Amino acid sequence: MKQWQQNILGLGVLATMLTLASCAQSPQRAAEFELTVAHIDDHHSNLLPRQGTTIQVNGQNYELETGGFARVVSQIDAIRASNPNVLALHAGDAITGTLFYTLYEGEADAALMNEVCFDAFALGNHEFDNGDAGLKHFLDALAFTEDCRTEVLAANVRPEVGVSPLTPKTRWDSFKPYAIFQLAGEKVGVIGLDIAIKTKNSSQPDATTEFSDELATAQFYIAELQQQGIEKIGLLTHIQYKNDLRIAEQLPSVDFIIGGDSHTLMGDFALNGLPTVGPYPTQVVNLDGEPVCIAHAWQYSQVVGELQIKFSGDAVASCGGQAHMLVSINAPEPISALPQFSAIEKDAAAQKLLVGFQDRLNELTKTEIATVESRLCMKRMGPMTIADCGVGRQSDVHAVVAKAFLASAPQADFALQNGGGVRTDLNAGALTIADVYRLLPFANTLVEIEITGAEVNQVLEQALTYALSESGSDGAYPHGAGIQFDVDLQAADGERISHLAVKTGGGWQPIEPNRSYTMITNSFLAGGADGWFLLGELEAAGRVQDTYVNYAQSFVDWARKTKLIQRPSEHSTQSYQSVEE
């Protein structure tokens, strides 16, 4: 484990603030000061490198290994070695997304993060996916080492004191609103913000844990830092890129924002076939009319940002730097020669840790997580036959999977998925994690879609049209939970779905064409795949929100809680008229 000197002066608690209030800044500050921020966000338990990443250079496609947390460690080490005044920051959503979290509950992520030894980490919405107790377990692991101290920041998070495991005695038992760092005689304050409404409604914080407005919270703590003589102020946010842009213009005195949640790629990657939003960093002006440097670092341990901020006195003179996409040292020369790609070795100590977790993970996938009472059979489209191990009823496994998806998103009204997204039966007996990943083998995540009743009907009709077309696939057939409908494949195109209803607290209710509903589905469909074309249009319109939770992980979590998985008593297809009948 590497040792990094921590220059923390203050943590935001009352005693610390009283101490710092008596410490005036030196009147003989340097006229110019350069701060470097090395940062990542949204790694979502993606600790291993990604294989087969396609990168375009001069019209040619290259597939290569990219990212991985051992390379993150090396890249941040390199930034620290090359610059005198460095802060290493993580903008949230460290956990949930892969088996590393499902099986280690944050311990693997914490161990690798401690190899970096971030100066500060902001809580993201997915830090609350397993409630306040799950977050406390992860934070305890993050604080387990003696030679690394990462300040956990969340100014607008309010667990109930004496009730939440995060706050047994005071509000700031597990995290702080801000930290103050001293670098070359300069004091830099960093405030942490989590996305409020999304965390409360789309994750699983305790019912008594509240989230304050991001803008109002930032205003309050900026004023508090200024009262202590701190004028170099940054925000470490998990509130999405668009919201960083919005609040930057409404806040006084903020100098930089390191953000997350929107998985935003910034930098010179457009010609490489990667989804960049624009230059790294983005520069806007704050309420005082002074520059603000905004930087994000994409997702999944793929990119490390290196933000360079030059100050003249307390004002930002310029924003610069580079977003580094991490690639193998064996990357082809046309890629490694470009400044936006960093061909870098894996850190040896981090890689050794990771191999150890991977070896144990391979064994842990054999862990039994639930019992399947009787065989759950699969059919992609239409009622099952004796050959499918059932007569008349719709697919068992599709109904169970949809039920698990809906349970993972309590704010959703119903779940829909495609027949091709589920790949096998589930045999009676013990269910292991390996079984689940055979059942749901793709790299899909769960997404929430805001959709009207009329649009639900339209997308179901599109799915059936594609399932029946010569160039389509029966894998497009819709299965769901919390929703039901009749299917008549002999009817005209656009008239095959009828009696569409959703389940509410008062029972089944006909779907209302003009009412807005929240649907949970998989990311494959959300892009308009398998003939579900309307969903692609809704995604382009900004009505799709990726949860970044692997869909197999959501089933594992549901199965662990359910313990005994029974044959479903409800199916989304109520009646089915085939073409041949």
Domains of the chain by residue range: 8-21+34-361, 368-577
Task: Report the pLDDT value the prediction gives residue 331, as an integer from 0 to 100.
Answer: 94
Q: Which has more pLDDT, 465 or 389?
A: 465
Task: Report the pLDDT value the prediction gives residue 198, as an integer from 0 to 100.
Answer: 85
Task: Report the pLDDT value the prediction gives residue 14, as an integer from 0 to 100.
Answer: 29
Span 39-53, average pLDDT: 94
Task: Report the pLDDT value the prediction gives residue 309, as an integer from 0 to 100.
Answer: 98
pLDDT of residue 27 exceeding 60, the answer is: no
pLDDT of residue 10 exceeding 90, the answer is: no
Task: Report the pLDDT value the prediction gives residue 580, as an integer from 0 to 100.
Answer: 75
Residue whose C-alpha is closest to residue 421's, from 563, 536, 518, 520: 520
Task: Report the pLDDT value the prediction gives residue 52, as an integer from 0 to 100.
Answer: 86
Task: Report the pLDDT value the prediction gives residue 469, as an integer from 0 to 100.
Answer: 85
Q: How sure is the predictor about 26, in pLDDT bands with cuts at 50, 70 and 90? A: very low
Task: Report the pLDDT value the prediction gives residue 332, as an integer from 0 to 100.
Answer: 94
pLDDT of residue 15 exceeding 50, the answer is: no
Alpha helices for 340-439 (secondary structure H): 348-364, 396-407, 433-439
Q: How sure is the predictor about 102, in pLDDT bands with cuts at 50, 70 and 90? A: confident
Q: How sure is the predictor about 388, in pLDDT bands with cuts at 50, 70 and 90? A: low
For the entire predicted model, the pTM comes to: 0.80
Span 232-247, average pLDDT: 97
Task: Report the pLDDT value the prediction gives residue 339, as an integer from 0 to 100.
Answer: 96
pLDDT of residue 19 exceeding 80, the answer is: no
Span 128-146, average pLDDT: 93
**Sign of the alpha-carbon dihedral angle for 218, 220, 224, 226:** positive
Span 465-472, average pLDDT: 85
pLDDT of residue 11 exceeding 80, the answer is: no
Compute the distance between CA of residue 135 and CA of residue 247 in angstroms, rounded to an integer. Answer: 27
Span 396-420, average pLDDT: 94
Compute the distance between CA of residue 158 and CA of residue 138 in angstroms, rounded to an integer. Answer: 18
Q: If you average pLDDT over every residue of the chain, what do you get?
A: 91
Among 3.40.309.10, 1.20.1250.20, 3.60.21.10, 3.30.1180.20, what is the CATH number of 8-21+34-361?
3.60.21.10
φ, ψ of residue 186 in degrees (nearest 5): -100, 140
Task: Report the pLDDT value the prediction gives residue 8, as an integer from 0 to 100.
Answer: 36
Hey, do 8-21+34-361 and 368-577 end up sharing a CATH topology, with the first three levels equal?
A: no
Q: How sure is the predictor about 334, in pLDDT bands with cuts at 50, 70 and 90? A: very high
Span 234-246, average pLDDT: 96
Q: How sure is the predictor about 410, in pLDDT bands with cuts at 50, 70 and 90? A: confident
Q: Check: CATH 3.50.50.60 for 368-577?
A: no
CB 376 within 8 A of CB 393: no
pLDDT of residue 17 exceeding 60, the answer is: no
- What are the residues whose beta carbons fall under 8 Å from the beta carbon of 225, sequence distance 6 or more? 178, 180, 189, 191, 233
Residue 437: left (phi > 0), alpha (psi -120 to 50), or beta? alpha
Provide the b/e sequence for 276-285 (b: ≥16 CB within 10 Å).
Answer: bbeebbbebe
Q: Which has more pLDDT, 470 or 577?
A: 577
Task: Report the pLDDT value the prediction gives residue 386, as an integer from 0 to 100.
Answer: 64
CB 1 within 8 A of CB 145: yes
Task: Report the pLDDT value the prediction gives residue 289, as an integer from 0 to 100.
Answer: 97
Task: Report the pLDDT value the prediction gives residue 20, as an integer from 0 to 100.
Answer: 34
pLDDT of residue 476 exceeding 60, the answer is: yes
Task: Report the pLDDT value the prediction gives residue 387, as an integer from 0 to 100.
Answer: 64
Question: Of the spans 353-357, 365-369, 441-445, which averages the highest pLDDT?
Answer: 353-357
Q: How sure is the predictor about 133, in pLDDT bands with cuts at 50, 70 and 90? A: very high
Instruction: Give SS3 for 122.
Output: strand
The CA angle 77-182-112, to the nearest 5 degrees, is 30
Can you point out the beta strands (E) in 59-166?
60-66, 86-90, 120-122, 151-153, 157-158
Span 191-217, average pLDDT: 93
Span 446-459, average pLDDT: 97
